[in-house]
Structure 1
Amino acid sequence: MFKNLFKKGNSKTEMVAPVAGELISLEDVPDPVFSQKMMGDGIAIKPSDNQIVAPVDGEVVQLPETKHAVGLRTEDGIEVLVHIGLETVSLNGEGFTPNVKTGDQVAKGDPLMTCDFDYIRENASSDITPVVITNGQDTDKTFTMTEESNGKTGETVIITASEK
């Protein structure tokens, strides 16, 4: 009787803000890799907090030695990259304290990383944190970005993925 409530096509994945702050369009990020969506579509956040949390339930599939980004994959195959700041790879891990490692399973809102955004602002080109769907074109999903202007860590839905 209740099986019909969960038909394929009705499922959606809601991604929450991995950090509190001002939400900005990816097109407004001052880095062409993100603003021209070379890595994929998404949204960016001007952080007002130091804690980065998982925007989705999934597996940590990427955590570079430089600790400047975290890649996650959801159970339905959506790959999400949280890129902390711009030109932060050059910091060689300074200012980043990971709470996870590659292969870890995380739930939406679980702590991924603590960041020293004061250090990042002083030593990188920007603290703007893009959240990008890196394989959106390879999925059967449609992605909708929020129209909210501010996000709360682990609460504000910033991207919704729905069946096409």
Structure 2
Amino acid sequence: MFSFLKKKKTVLHSPADGQLVPLTKVEDPVFSQGMMGPGIAVLPSSDDIYSPVEGTVTNVFPTKHAIGLKTKDDKDVLLHFGIDTVELKGEGFEVFVDVDDKVQTDTLLARMDRAYLKEHEKADTLMVLFPEEKEFPTVEEKTVKANDELFELD
């Protein structure tokens, strides 16, 4: 009856095809130790990166290696493409969204040239981080497809 009183929940989707892994398995302590907040990691098997949540683009980093999002229920999300990829200064990345764009989980945000990253000895791990969250669901390793629903966050 009073559906407007129900708190909206964030539904997290996979940003790419690949292997879902816990952040603790990421080969960078900034991410694996949760310094950027809790989240998930995907070892991608394709170059396309989709929005993991419904919301709005809040930041497109000039180096194209990360995109900030705000969910419909006001959670901050950081989508980070690869490890130490800021050093590539935007090379190997193509971004298709701008700040203030509304996105759905089927919105193609960016394309990451995984072959280019490999040539430059950069890991292509995708991280979806929630910098302001304290609690986060446990992540089990599994194969995922882009836009697969992973879980809901309160």
TM-score (norm 1): 0.86
The alpha carbon displacement at 1:107 in A equals: 1.3
Q: 2:101 aligns with which of 78, 101, 104?
A: 104
Query: What are the equivalent positions in structure 2 for 1:1-164 lying under 5 Å apart?
Result: 2-3=1-2, 7-8=5-6, 11-137=8-134, 142-147=135-140, 149-154=142-147, 156-162=148-154
Aligned partner of residue 136 in structure 2, secondary structure:
strand
Alpha carbons 1:96, 1:115 under 8 Å: kept:
yes
TM-score (norm 2): 0.92
The alpha carbon displacement at 1:13 in A equals: 1.7
Q: Distance in 2 between matches of 1:131 and 1:19?
A: 11
Alpha carbons 1:146, 1:159 under 8 Å: kept:
no
The number of aligned residues is 154
Q: Percent identity of the aligned residues? A: 39
Once superposed, what is the RMSD of the aligned Cα atoms?
A: 1.6
Q: Distance in 2 between matches of 1:129 and 1:71?
A: 13
Q: Distance in 2 between matches of 1:93 and 1:56?
A: 23
> Which runs of no fewer than 5 residues in structure 1 stay unpaired?
none
> Which runs of no fewer than 5 residues in structure 2 stay unpaired?
none
Deviations 1:65-118 (A, max 9, x none): 100011100121111111000000011111111100112111121010011111
Deviations 1:37-65 (A, max 9, x none): 00100110100011111111111111111
